[in-house]
Amino acid sequence: MARKVILGFGLSLDGYIARPDGTMDFLTIDAEGEALMAEFFAGIDTTIMGRKTAAATAAMRKSGEIPEMPGMSTYVFSKRWKPGKRDGLEVVGGSLTEFVRKLKRRKGKNIYLGGGGELCRSFLREDLVDEVFIGVEPVLLGDGIPGFPGTFPQRNFRLIECKSYANGSVGLRYERIRAKA
């Protein structure tokens, strides 16, 4: 089975992945959510994220909000950070498309694209997303960092899973529809 790039994040009803200051305290993390995330990450062995998501993730790991993930290769695309390995991750640059093609040729599990913002937009622009997995939280923030920043071409997806949870959140999973060559 070919490796897939899966874009995933939690989202408010009004489409935000974080508050304007970057905090994500509205995301519900309960036993049901932890089990879902454990199941999801069992099929992942590589994570790609941007600089801001990497910084937020590091802070959440340090505080114990999210666990360490041994055996996970973590890459950070950044124009500001110097390329190289540090703190359990590898900062990379260059062509996003070529990097993802190389990763997909390697044997392994799926590739998780974490966070939103600029990197998400770049992946969508380059048509590198194979699946989208969104947890919709039952809250309206009114303002914040959008999950899908604009300026990328239309991409069509097909719903492959929809689950509701006891806390009122909904998990949606979509796969990319591509024209047959």
Residues 114-146 have pLDDT tens digits of: 876 788 889 999 999 999 999 999 999 999 989
Element (H, E) at 40: helix 31-42
pLDDT value of position 112: 95
Q: What digits encode the pLDDT tens for the residues 44-89? A: 999 999 887 787 776 666 666 666 667 789 899 888 888 999 877 8
d(CA 151, CA 173): 22
CA 138 from chain centre, in angstroms, equals 19
Identify the pLDDT of residue 63: 65
Is residue 32 within 8 Å of residue 100, measured between CB atoms? no
Percent over 90 (pLDDT), the chain: 49
Query: Residues of the chain with pLDDT > 70: what percent?
Result: 90
pLDDT at 23 over 90: no
Mean pLDDT of 12-40: 86
- Name the least confident of 47-51, 63-67, 153-157, 168-172: 63-67
What is the per-residue pLDDT for 162?
96
- CATH top-level class of 5-176: alpha beta
| C-alpha closest to that of 55 among 11, 27, 24 | 24
Contact at 8 Å (CB) between 7 and 147? Answer: no
The answer for 43, left when phi > 0, alpha when psi is -120 to 50, beta otherwise, is: alpha
